[in-house]
Structure 1
Amino acid sequence: MGHKSHKKHTVPTATNSLQDECIRVQKVYDWVTDQLSVRKTIKFTDHQLKKIECAMEDPSRRPLRIVCKTPEAPPLFPLSGSEHTEDDFFCEQVGEKRDVSVAIPGGGFADAQLVDLLFTTDVKVKVVDRHGKLVTDLDVNASVFESFVLCFPNGTDLFCRITKIVCRIPSGTVLLNSPAPDSFDLEVVFCVDIQVEAEVKLEVLAKFCSPRDNDLLAPDLIDECPPVEFPEQCPDIFPRPNCDCSLTGEASGETDSEDDEGKATLLVNICDDCSLSGSSMKLNFHDTDSSDGKHSFTFTATSFDQDTLECKECGDGLKFIIEGSGETDRGRTLDFKLAVVDSDDDQWFEVHLLNRRGKVVFNTGTVEVEEGELTIDDCITFEDLKYKRQP
């Protein structure tokens, strides 16, 4: 028998294999988007009204139209090279930031900063005839002043961008007959993107890295260098946690409750992009038993509790659970509990509405979906990822 070697063999590592790296990046401490609007009443001058009346006296030029044109804002992406350099619109901070303590979703308070921002744009308004020929025009300036609560610690920079400007004329854009109105309403909408950033060093995956020791040179230092400290984060404010799963669709069926007999219709769009922001839920109940003294109603959710969101396996499908609060079409504020099951065999949902004392005032019971469809999709979160590190 030959001698079998037990020598260990080292498997060579290919070029460009994964390894620990420290990178310099712009870290986002807070990110807010919003839509702000302002309405102004614009008056024509006597000279402009004379031009409009003259054009309206010509049947071949009627009707006239009022059109407005706003500056073209740079796209949201890419970020580099999209800075606006003209002076036709801008966003700027007014005054200094102030420290505040604010209530956060889910309960509790967090330290934040209050910032006042001014958004300004020039709008070109034209009156044109039916052929598009200019009758008269005027320049309008519109501004919005808004306060924002942000995670804006010392050491970070505020970047305020206007990503789109829209103008509307709610009072109507068509001029049919004389005399022409001497004024009109103009509404300007600002789509804004606000980010708080700081340049930091991160060790992939997503943790701060520390600078290397100055071990290549060993000079005799007299003064101590201060430690490198990054600005504190605001985890209670941003980023918000992801959803475990999403729920979308519209479905209806008969209620399974002796006290609340009727037909329930559920319209939901919760965590559509795996984020609770922008979620919606509406429950419509049609009462088919008029003898019990109850009435049909519509309940609309106004808030969702992230901590109550739960997604778990249920047979061959998924079960979606969440709680929150909302209002009925009669103005009554109630809390709600929602449960939905989506499986290959069937679908059902159940909604409880509770008053402020926690008493159930409405219960659909288990509603088997007879019309429509509800879809539960699993969201991949950071906790779902498994990273295999090198030994």
Structure 2
Amino acid sequence: MSQTQHKERKEKVCIKTRKVFDWVTRQVDVPLRSFSNDDLEDIFPDHKCPRNGKTVCEFFTSNGFDAEEFSIRCFLTDDDGKRIEPVVDNDAFICQEIIQPNGRQPVNVTLPSGETVTLQKVKALVKGHVVVQVVNANGHIVCESKPIPFATAQTFILCAPEGTMLDCHISFFECDASLVCTDNFSQLDVSITLCLEVQMEADVKIEVEARFCKPREEILEATLCPTDKFPPQCPEVFPVH
């Protein structure tokens, strides 16, 4: 057997890796957050919404809010109010298991095949912040809220034996806000929808059949320098023997 064949021979190896025991995705509609009167004034502090002594709704209506001169946008932030991307910055919000006094409770469920299996009840807590901005027709931010906290608790039925850990992240996030200002009524409503991906994981050691790999040949960038090309020779006539 050649040296090359010996190196490429498969063998059984033991590796340590993270195993996913269960994985589900759920759309979560966070309970509506509503603010009115004094709460509304606190949500839009003076240093982020200079109102010159007016209430929030007095400021907006006196500047054409009823004429649709303003638009409202809402987005996910960290606790300092810095905008974040939910898919990338998953460390900026909390997603953790709620530890139950008696541990994860077993639940018997019937699969579509008719088989009955025992799974576990896992509770997850999701917490984060959003910021609401009021923007004029020119795209200028007129008012900005302080970070508004939100939270939701979700219960999942998963394969979660003892030793597994919860791992979750947001794969989609949507926030809508509406401000209602009338003569007798003022209110800000914040609506949040997110897609929560939940996995139960644990580090395991597994045996696999594999062979060791080696680096590939490097692909070099094409050179810009021309290479000399000589015309074909005439050996039959020159040089003369």
Q: TM-score, normalised by structure 2?
A: 0.65
Q: Residues of 2 paired with 1:21 and 1:164: CA distance?
A: 38
- Alignment counterpart, residue 70 of structure 1, candidates 68, 72, 76: 76
Shift of 1:179: 5.8
| CA offsets 1:276-334 (integer angstroms, 9 cap, x no match) | xxxxxxxxxxxxxxxxxxxxxxxxxxxxxxxxxxxxxxxxxxxxxxxxxxxxxxxxxxx
Look up the equivalent residue of 2:69 and give its one-letter code.
P
Change (3 A) 1:11 1:103: same
Partner secondary structure for residue 49 of structure 1: helix
Q: Residues of 1 paired with 2:158 and 2:173: CA distance?
A: 23
Change (3 A) 1:141 1:83: closer
Q: Residues of 1 paired with 2:24 and 2:85: CA distance?
A: 18
Change (3 A) 1:108 1:21: same
Map of 2:207 onto structure 1: 203
Given that 2:87 and 2:170 are in contact with CA atoms closer than 8 Å, whether structure 1 keeps it comes out as no
Q: Residues of 2 paired with 1:101 and 1:63: CA distance?
A: 56
Q: Residues of 1 paired with 2:86 and 2:136: CA distance?
A: 31
Shift of 1:75: 3.5
Q: Residues of 1 paired with 2:117 and 2:166: CA distance?
A: 19
Given that 1:39 and 1:185 are in contact with CA atoms closer than 8 Å, whether structure 2 keeps it comes out as no
- Alignment counterpart, residue 196 of structure 2, candidates 192, 201, 204: 192
Kindly indicate whether residue 134 of structure 2 is the aligned counterpart of residue 127 of structure 1.
yes
Q: Residues of 1 paired with 2:115 and 2:160: CA distance?
A: 19
Shift of 1:43: 2.9
Shift of 1:11: 5.6
Q: Residues of 2 paired with 1:75 and 1:54: CA distance?
A: 39
Q: Residues of 2 paired with 1:179 and 1:52: CA distance?
A: 12
Kindly indicate whether residue 171 of structure 2 is the aligned counterpart of residue 163 of structure 1.
yes
Map of 2:48 onto structure 1: none
Q: Residues of 2 paired with 1:150 and 1:144: CA distance?
A: 19
| CA offsets 1:27-63 (integer angstroms, 9 cap, x no match) | 111111222112415335362112212221797xx51
Shift of 1:165: 2.3
Structure 1 unmatched runs, 5+: 1-9, 77-81, 207-391
Given that 1:114 and 1:148 are in contact with CA atoms closer than 8 Å, whether structure 2 keeps it comes out as yes
Q: Residues of 1 paired with 2:87 and 2:95: CA distance?
A: 15
- Alignment counterpart, residue 51 of structure 1, candidates 40, 45, 59: 59
**Which has the bigger relative contact order, CA under 8 A and spacing at least 6?**
2
Change (3 A) 1:134 1:42: farther
- Report percent identity of matched pairs: 27
Kindly indicate whether residue 98 of structure 2 is the aligned counterpart of residue 94 of structure 1.
yes
Given that 1:114 and 1:149 are in contact with CA atoms closer than 8 Å, whether structure 2 keeps it comes out as yes
Change (3 A) 1:187 1:205: farther
Shift of 1:185: 3.5
Shift of 1:156: 1.7
Q: Residues of 2 paired with 1:128 and 1:149: CA distance?
A: 43
Shift of 1:106: 1.5
Q: Residues of 2 paired with 1:159 and 1:136: CA distance?
A: 36
Shift of 1:194: 1.3
Change (3 A) 1:152 1:144: same
| CA offsets 1:148-204 (integer angstroms, 9 cap, x no match) | 0011101222212233322124x6x8x8x9769622432211221211111111111
| CA offsets 1:112-149 (integer angstroms, 9 cap, x no match) | 11011111221101112111223323242222221000
Change (3 A) 1:19 1:57: closer
Pick the structure with more helix per residue. Answer: 2
- Alignment counterpart, residue 10 of structure 2, candidates 18, 40, 57: 18
Partner secondary structure for residue 157 of structure 2: strand
Q: Residues of 2 paired with 1:132 and 1:106: CA distance?
A: 56
Map of 1:143 onto structure 2: 151
Change (3 A) 1:180 1:51: farther
Q: TM-score, normalised by structure 1?
A: 0.42
Kindly indicate whether residue 114 of structure 2 is the aligned counterpart of residue 107 of structure 1.
yes
**RMSD value over aligned CA atoms?**
3.0
Given that 2:94 and 2:126 are in contact with CA atoms closer than 8 Å, whether structure 1 keeps it comes out as yes
